[in-house]
Structure 1
Amino acid sequence: MSAEGSGTIRRRIKNLLRSPSIKLRRTGAARNQNDLSGKVTLEKVLGITSLGNRALSCDPRTGLLAYPAGCVVILLNPRKNKQHHIFNSSRKAITTLAFSPDGKYMVTGESGHMPAVRIWEVSERTQVAELQEHKYGISCVAFSPNGKYIVSVGYQHDMMVNVWNWKKNVVVAANKVSSKVTAVSFSSDSSYFVTSGNRHVKFWYLDHTKTSKVNATVPLLGRSGLLGDLRNNFFSDVACGRGRRSSSTFSITSSGLLCEFNDQRLLDKWVELRTSQATCLSVTEEFIFCGCSDGTVRAFSPVDLHFLCTLPCPHRLGADVASVVHAR
């Protein structure tokens, strides 16, 4: 085709795009889209994309349950069986989340390149702060018990642990971690936190005299747990002790061991859960609950790791609970 012929075709296309009928179609399509967005609302989300305890959080004050499904955070009121939703504006999948100690805020981490740690106001379901210091996905997040700091741990290729003073929007301490990390837990006095993962349990200490500096990010001091004969295990979850056992740290291995670290970071006690796999852990002043395979939950005493009981398994999906009650 000659240059003159191609130029004629370009002029005809330009004139066609400038015609009133084309503009009218575009305007009509945009108007229909706006009308549709005002009419369509999300009522309920079926399913969950949680990879473990790190993406499931409960507000102890209200009982509100939070978990992710793709780029949406579901806020479930179990008493009313009603959902509210938080939409991640970046459209990246939520990988981890946690409530603040007072339940007013929630922190989320996401996957993808250059992910953000986001803070949301729960009642308004709006974003109030954002931190972008990771590069390759965020594995787990947690608020400190005093509500001042947020710790975020990146994926294994990201290799970063950041402590964020979120109200001042500054990273106050940071360091690198080479292992795959799947869980994090703060001590009750907010003086340190513990990470766990593949052949990894590490204690990270916050120097409040240094982290109070606004304009400087200080190196985060970390000390590895003394794992002994269990050094080749995958420590799937971790929880710092509460109350009288606040000096202890508890962790479970994916192979089915409940472990206790003393105040010297030494793994000096462990018991078998008698299960093929253990996935999650929850610790109170009086109980240790271990989530195992096949929906099994076993309870132990935090004082001496004494086995207390196995909780009844929930009924299977679709079972008519009322018929079972009436039969009895």
Structure 2
Amino acid sequence: MPPITSDFTHLELETIIGFGGAVPQGLLKHSDGHMVYSLGSTVVIESSGEGKKSQDFLQGHTNTVSCLAVSKSGKFIASGQVTHMGFQADIIIWDFENRKLLHRLTLHKVKVQALAFSPNDKYLASLGGEDDNSVIVWDLAKGAAICGSPAGKDSAGVTLSLAYLNNDDNIFVTGGHSTLRVWELNLTQRKVRATDCQTGQIKRIVKCITVDSDDEFMYCGTTTGDLLQVNLRTKLFKVSGPPKEKDLFSMGVLSAALYKDDNMIVVGCGDGTIAALKLPKLNILRTVKVSGSVTSIAVYDDNSFVAGTAYSNIYHVTKKDFKATLKSTCHYSAINDICFPPNSSEVFATASDTDIRIWNAMTATELLRIAVPNLECNCITFKKDGSSLISGWNDGKIRAFGPQSGRLQYEIHDAHKRGVTALAVTDPFNQRGDFRIVSGGGDGQVRVWKVTKQIQILEDAMKEHKGTVTCIKIRKNNLECVSSSSDGSCIVWDLTRYVRNQVLFAPSFFKAVAYFPDESQLLTSGTDRKVAYWEAFDGSLIRELEASQSDTINGLDITADGRFFVIGGSDKLVKMYRYEEGDVVFVGVGHSTDITKVKISPDHRCVVSVSAEGAVFSWKFPDI
């Protein structure tokens, strides 16, 4: 993400819908009831009380957060990130109470794999990723490194996990590919010394480690699907569980948490199983299955815990009856499109690689999910009266669903050969409520469909584009539309004679096009990093803005009064421009992958941006 050097005012982030479920042990419980997790390059602190959840955002990373830790006292949060090959990856220490950055620690290369605070908040141990493979101990008061060491022997593989003991500031443990080590810090000599644990003939890849409250044993989850119990005093392997081989957990044990009072350990597995095991024999007591690999488990209180999965779901599980309740959910793959119903800002819909979801814009909760197995939804739009959600899919079909029931209303087969990539709908043109759908596809065609209550008829197909149609907008009088394409052209079509009225050319893959509210001008954006103003009457270029220094502009939207427009793209920034002056007035920083679409809500209360990481960001529309 490029640094913001100018004096722009930052857009205020209201809510985030999303959770970085792929981060190992990435969902943490803070001592005062807050939940801490990451989404892209942002660390989110969420509190839920009196029916409303509030979020605070810690922003300082330049790339995706790869690991998180919360100190035992709750004073500090530490987050580490991934960066590009050859660059150093930062660790940031945050002050929890003031939500401020305290220290930025930079020594690891490419990736920070894991972090752990010492029990009395004196030190932070950090583990580098595969390209770095080193352990460093940091002094929290000074924000400086004390000492470091290679994480494993040359004969061992990559080290993946790290945990501090609960009662000793000088001892921590690491585990990974055929390696399990206990480390002791010698502060006077500024050295850290490792002792390998003896596991005999057992060769395992350790994915997670948790230490019991007395620092007597550590429990290591492995990719083989068993849990190893290792004595920390003798450094000897004691027992592995579950006792019966047929009970081994499928796809490995990825996360674990201990309940000290009940002699019980809870583990999360790659196949979505959450299981409680009785100590010390590691017999299975209870299990429950959830959706997605369980990448993190955090003890919530004496009677329950929370689990985060790779499908970006967060579950609340009661300890007594082991019942899993879905607490929050979001997309876990790229979002392709977003739309609001006409004249309504209370809900919006998003389309992704896996499904369509409808969200409550006020509470950021999911209202409806529509999935067609093994198919990807490329584009969505609401019918003008909001009674239908029309979607275009990669199998070439247009499908319409009820926005409340999710029931399939109708589908148009073979709408486009290479998938439906853009959609727009007209107002009803008769008393029966018949309307037209204008669709664009990967085949470069723009097709017009007449939709009645009984049937859907192809009225005409207009073939001039040589590349994928990326966006379609219809004029208010429904007599004309404009389509943008990846072939470097935008065409204005006559919807009564089905011929071309105007064509606009630029050395760019056009990604988005929009009419100015009075429809005298057009605005386009694309891979040439420019936003261009065009005369709608004769297709002449009026002006161009160099809107992005580095990358493609994928999303574009204009306010209803035409004073402002918003863009978002592969530079990961949401920018708000004044239309007449052509200058940036607000910038939103927070996404860590390409922004795919931006939309201004019809009531101008917020700007919603969606990205390739599956995140939905809602920004407060400035009072201007």
Q: Normalising to structure 1: TM-score of the pair?
A: 0.77
Q: Is the 8 A contact 1:52 1:279 kept in 2?
A: no
**Any idea what the Cα deviations from partners look like across 1:225-273, whole Å, max 9, x if unmatched?**
2122321x21110111113xx2111111122101100121111201135
Match of 1:123 among 94, 97, 102: 97
Q: Does 1:180 align with 2:158?
A: yes
**Structure richer in strand, relative to its length:** 2
Structure 2: distance between partners of 1:279 and 1:42 = 32
| Aligned partner letter, 2:106 | Q
**In structure 1, what is the equivalent of residue 44 of structure 2?**
74
Gaps of 5+ in 2: 1-5, 288-321, 330-365, 369-624
Cα RMSD of the aligned pairs, angstroms, is 2.3
**In structure 2, what is the equivalent of residue 47 of structure 1?**
18
| Aligned partner letter, 1:299 | A
Shift of 1:118: 1.2
Structure 2: distance between partners of 1:149 and 1:303 = 31
Higher relative contact order (CA 8 A, sep 6+): 2
Structure 2: distance between partners of 1:101 and 1:296 = 28
Change (3 A) 1:56 1:176: same
The SS at the match of 1:226 is coil
Structure 2: distance between partners of 1:242 and 1:302 = 13
**In structure 1, what is the equivalent of residue 167 of structure 2?**
189
**Structure richer in helix, relative to its length:** 1
Shift of 1:172: 1.9
Change (3 A) 1:319 1:293: farther
For 1:213-252, what aligned pairs fall within 5 Å after superposition?
A: 218-231=190-203, 233-243=204-214, 246-252=215-221
Shift of 1:100: 1.3
**Any idea what the Cα deviations from partners look like across 1:21-76, whole Å, max 9, x if unmatched?**
xxxxxxxxx88x53xx3xx32122222224344322211x2121111111100111
Q: Is the 8 A contact 1:56 1:96 kept in 2?
A: no
| Aligned partner letter, 2:185 | L
Change (3 A) 1:226 1:185: same
**In structure 2, what is the equivalent of residue 305 of structure 1?**
282
Q: Is the 8 A contact 1:241 1:283 kept in 2?
A: yes
**In structure 2, what is the equivalent of residue 164 of structure 1?**
138
| Aligned partner letter, 1:279 | L
Gaps of 5+ in 1: 1-29, 212-217, 321-328
Shift of 1:314: 3.5
Shift of 1:182: 2.3
| Aligned partner letter, 2:234 | Q
Structure 2: distance between partners of 1:303 and 1:312 = 24
The SS at the match of 2:227 is strand
Q: Is the 8 A contact 1:50 1:95 kept in 2?
A: no
**In structure 1, what is the equivalent of residue 238 of structure 2?**
268
The structure with more radius of gyration: 2
Q: Is the 8 A contact 1:65 1:77 kept in 2?
A: yes
**In structure 2, what is the equivalent of residue 144 of structure 1?**
118
The SS at the match of 2:18 is coil
**Any idea what the Cα deviations from partners look like across 1:75-105, whole Å, max 9, x if unmatched?**
11144422111112x4222111111111121
Match of 2:254 among 258, 265, 279: 279
**Share of identical aligned residues, percent?**
22
**In structure 1, what is the equivalent of residue 325 of structure 2?**
314
Q: Does 1:107 align with 2:78?
A: yes
**In structure 2, what is the equivalent of residue 255 of structure 1?**
224
Q: Is the 8 A contact 1:295 1:313 kept in 2?
A: no
| Aligned partner letter, 1:305 | L
| Aligned partner letter, 1:174 | G
**In structure 1, what is the equivalent of residue 107 of structure 2?**
133
**In structure 2, what is the equivalent of residue 203 of structure 1?**
182
Structure 2: distance between partners of 1:176 and 1:274 = 32
Shift of 1:315: 4.9
For 1:15-94, what aligned pairs fall within 5 Å after superposition?
A: 33-34=8-9, 37=10, 40-59=11-30, 61-79=31-49, 80-88=52-60, 90-94=61-65
Structure 2: distance between partners of 1:207 and 1:167 = 17
Q: Normalising to structure 2: TM-score of the pair?
A: 0.42
Structure 1: distance between partners of 2:148 and 2:82 = 20
